[in-house]
Amino acid sequence: MSLTPHHLQLNQQGQLRHFLTIEGLSRELLTELLDTADSFLEVGERAVKKVPLLRGKTVCNVFFENSTRTRTTFELAAKRLSADVLNLNISTSSTSKGETLFDTLQNLEAMAADMFVVRHGDSGAAHFIAERVCPDVAIINAGDGNHAHPTQAMLDMLTIRRHRGDFENLSVAIVGDILHSRVARSNMLALKTLGCPDIRVIAPRTLLPEGIDQYGVRVFNDLRVGLRDVDVVIMLRLQKERMQSGLLPSESEFYKLYGLTRATLALAKPDALVMHPGPINRGVEIESDVADGPQSVILKQVTYGIAVRMAVMSMAMTGQTTQRQLTQEAN
């Protein structure tokens, strides 16, 4: 029987070994990750933006899906930790989870990399690799299907914490294409784990997944009702590449009903944060005046994302080193 992702993620001492999903991770570990990321923010302000924590290590970015923003921030994070970085963009045309993915894994292992950052269109692909990879290699999930995007969730959590402090008195709204969003799933789990008492999901019924109630959220189909008095608004793009026909009447109709404009943002608290994982579709889910306005922290999210990915890499490598020592002692 295969292990669940959260068991795979930790070594015998409870340290991070892989980073596959928020699910199953403790509040203490997520807080440690945020604290570590906070300490790395200072590195980006130095004249020489490097620390030697991963010197001599090789990080391999393995992207079966295109994502310039995520790949480049992972690459920059690894380089700031002094790691060597190899980028592989692998076409999905002949790749499927199973034998082909396993063959790819074996070829990657032959390169003697210490860490694989994996992005894949199939849900569970990073977990599949983590179950089968040799024990001294760390796997970081950079997004798998509709399932999880844990580093995006943690950079969103760092953004919220730095601008709003404690999670325990916040109302956070996640708006848009929830059905196809791995970011939404990871954010809901992270917010709940960190103690946020009011997590709101706002979307048309056709863009809500089954079982949304299991996340402990309040569901709204009316944007104007759902945004009232929230502290944070996280907008999501319409993932048209994953949609089947009939889910939406039109983009213009979606914008009319669910687009974040100055008028709809005014329903939230006066100092509410505006966030978006990117890329932004202006005039589809968000108005340019809002995306570029004083309440927007969208560019801050990118900056914080580098620090979060540095934290994940350094913590996972520490966990892998400890796991290797434990394995050697056992043998």
pLDDT tens digits, one per residue of 43-53: 988 888 999 99
Q: Is the dihedral of CA 243, 248, 250, 254 positive or negative?
A: negative
Per DSSP, what are the bridge partners of residue 219? 201
Q: How confident is the model at residue 95 (pLDDT cuts 50, 70, 90)?
A: low
Residue keyed to tokens 């991770």: 25
Q: How far apart are CA 239 and CA 22, in angstroms?
A: 22
Catalytic site residue 70?
A: yes
Determine which one of 17, 18, 80, 149 is catalytic: 149
Has 5 been labeled as part of a binding site? no
Catalytic site residue 282?
A: no
Quickly name the fold that domain 5-149+303-330 has: Rossmann fold (3.40.50)
Determine which one of 21, 70, 159, 193 is catalytic: 70
Looking at domain 150-298, its CATH superfamily turns out to be: Aspartate/ornithine carbamoyltransferase (3.40.50.1370)
What is the pLDDT at residue 135? 84
Determine which one of 57, 97, 147, 180 is catalytic: 97
Which region holds residue 188: left if phi is over 0, alpha if psi is between -120 and 50, else beta?
Answer: alpha
Has 70 been labeled as part of a binding site? yes
Has 279 been labeled as part of a binding site? yes
pLDDT at 86 over 70: yes
Strands 138-144 and 171-175: unpaired
Q: How confident is the model at residue 323 (pLDDT cuts 50, 70, 90)?
A: low
Q: Do 172 and 231 contact (CB within 8 A), yes or no?
A: yes
Rounded mean pLDDT, 55-62? 94
Q: How far apart are CA 121 and CA 217, in angstroms?
A: 26
Q: How confident is the model at residue 246 (pLDDT cuts 50, 70, 90)?
A: very low
Name the packing angle between helices 27-41 and 182-193 (round to 10°).
Answer: 110
Catalytic site residue 55?
A: no
Length of the chain: 331
Phi, psi of 121 (to 5 degrees): -75, -15
Determine which one of 46, 69, 240, 256 is catalytic: 69
Has 294 been labeled as part of a binding site? no
Catalytic site residue 97?
A: yes
Has 149 been labeled as part of a binding site? yes
Q: How confident is the model at residue 12 (pLDDT cuts 50, 70, 90)?
A: confident
How high is the mean pLDDT of the chain? 89
Has 244 been labeled as part of a binding site? no
What is the pLDDT at residue 318? 86
Catalytic site residue 300?
A: no
Has 132 been labeled as part of a binding site? no
Instruction: Report the percentage of the chain scoring pLDDT > 90.
Output: 70
Strands 232-235 and 273-275: parallel
pLDDT at 251 over 50: yes
Q: How confident is the model at residue 152 (pLDDT cuts 50, 70, 90)?
A: very high
Domain with CATH 3.40.50.1370 in the chain: 5-149+303-330, 150-298
Q: Do 178 and 156 contact (CB within 8 A), yes or no?
A: no
Q: How confident is the model at residue 3 (pLDDT cuts 50, 70, 90)?
A: very low
